[in-house]
Amino acid sequence: MPARHAASNSTVLAELREQGLICDLGLSNVREHHLDQALAIAPVVCVQNMFNVAERGDEKMLDRTTAYVLFFPLGGFSPVQHQALEEVGGRHGATERQVVLAWLLHRAPNVLLIPGTSSTRHLEENLASADLHLSEQDLTLLDTIE
């Protein structure tokens, strides 16, 4: 789409928001300069991007919105695997996936996860991640994952 069309679409959304026809604006799969462009037009409440313990390219954007929705928080179709996840999970009696989700929830209060699940057991494991309290030692070790 040509830039002039993208700009006019953005201003239309801002106008609809000002008229009260839509409440909040969100962006998906964007880079920081896209967020800057959108913020110059209207407030952006949410960004939805890929972010996980091994893919942290959006670290700066994470803190710039009310909500940051993470897709592929476990690493996508090939979940993140790393010795640090095994080590921290072993200390807490948790799965590697639970450790990843707990790390993400600890990262910022505006993080919203879409971990996906294929069973009730996975759902229960995902929910239990919120109760996993990582120590400073755990966080330091997990921050070494690339």
From the first residue on, what is the mean pLDDT of each consecutive set of 10 residues in the chain (146 residues)?
49 84 89 91 91 88 89 83 94 95 92 87 92 95 90
| Residue-level pLDDT at 74 | 86
SS (H, E, C) 83-142: HHHHHHHHHHCCCHHHHHHHHHHHHCCCEEEECCCCCHHHHHHHHHHHHCCCCHHHHHHH
| Residue-level pLDDT at 137 | 96
Note the CATH architecture for domain 24-142.
Alpha-Beta Barrel (3.20)
| Residue-level pLDDT at 6 | 47
| Residue-level pLDDT at 60 | 86
| Residue-level pLDDT at 17 | 80
